[in-house]
Chains A and B, each alone.
Chain A
Amino acid sequence: MTLRSLLTSILAGGVAAISLASSAVAAPLKVDTGKSTVSAVFKQLNVPVEAKFKKFAAQIDFDSAKPDAAKAGVDIDIASFDLGDAEYNKEVLKKEWFNAAQFPKASFVSSSIKAAAGAPAGTKYDVAGKLTIKGKTADVHFPLAVKKDGGSLVFDGAVPIKRLSFNIGEGEWKDTGMVADEVTIKFHVVTAP
């Protein structure tokens, strides 16, 4: 065995051991989709409107004792976006908005979850991650609030994004006087006890 291959196998073993350890600490939690919501809040002519994504899947590995090992991911079914009007729901799936035919899913993957400074332990975290919508990926940062509700954990947060950096609203819809560039993605995720 060469020195190089020996080093490689030691390294590989080490990585395997670390990932095994972290998965033992932070077990994936089951998300109660009936109680959880993901929505987008946008402003059209200064009127705040909130619309829900009715179908999404969230994967959360979280142990408040070891937040650094926590991981979160969300997959959102774009076609489930509900503006409360069947005609509008069809419109926003078109090319100039979400282009759902080509990009049926939006996703978020966390890259770091750190306890927020100054907050009581286990209640507030700073989350960074990558958000992909309409085939475009951007780095996002947002505060995450966690609380215990009986046997469940409740995760709340609001992710500020700019819709134009994801090409959401092309052509005449680029006008931010009509629909503001700033959009907030709000989530409320409840885990099953």
Chain B
Amino acid sequence: MERYTKPAILLHWLIALLIIAAFSLGLTMVNIPGLTPTKLKYFSWHKWLGVTVLALACLRLLWRLTHAAPAYPAQMPRWQQSAAHALHGLLYILIFAIPISGYFYSLAAGVPVVYLGLYPLPVFIDPNPELKPLLKLVHYWLNMTLLAAFCLHVLAALKHQFIDRDGVLKRILP
């Protein structure tokens, strides 16, 4: 069965790992009470991870638009193919929407992002106490949506591998 191209495979796993790291760090940091140096560090690292995901997502979208994905097995039901396309579409939207919502949440909170502590990134909006709680909520729920989509994505991959045994998972394995 035809596989994804090497760069597509690399970008898939790299982004997956970075998202898992950013997601766990995000949950950890918001549960640290008060104000500690560790908390501030985690917030910065979380933002750097998010910005990295966004940059890689841009690369990945460009690559995907110029390189077709391998076709699904002929025996795969139509509805499942449509569902797979829809879920992949949603995942693509989220890997952009989540870092962007987080970035603007940080700006609204009056904390610009300095990538790796070295490169100040553009400030598009002024601190905004009204927008801040709204963006926080948006960032949170987009992440919960991602968690649900991620679970479906993994379950579907496992179903293809162990129930359908149709080699769909192999297309993306490193």
Contacts and interface: CB of A to CB of B under 8 A. Distances in A.
B114 A175 contact: no
Interface string B123-155: 000010100100000000000000000000000
Interface stretch (B63-71, B105-113, B157-165): B105-113
A48 B127 CA distance: 12
A83 B35 CA distance: 12
Chain B interface bracket (under 10, 10 to 19, 20 to 34, 35 or more): 10 to 19
B111 A46 contact: no
Interface stretch (B36-44, B50-58, B83-91): B36-44
B159 to A, nearest CB: 43
Contact of B37 (A46, A85, A88, A175): A175
B132 A84 contact: yes
B117 interface: yes
B41 A178 contact: yes
B60 to A, nearest CB: 28
A46 B117 contact: yes
Given A84-B127, A88-B35, A91-B35, A49 B41 contact: no
A40 to B, nearest CB: 12
A169 to B, nearest CB: 10
B74 interface: no
A51 B129 CA distance: 13
Contacts of B117: 45-47
Interface of B: 34-37, 40-41, 44, 109-114, 117-118, 127, 129, 132
Interface of A: 44-51, 83-85, 87-88, 91-92, 172-173, 175, 178-179
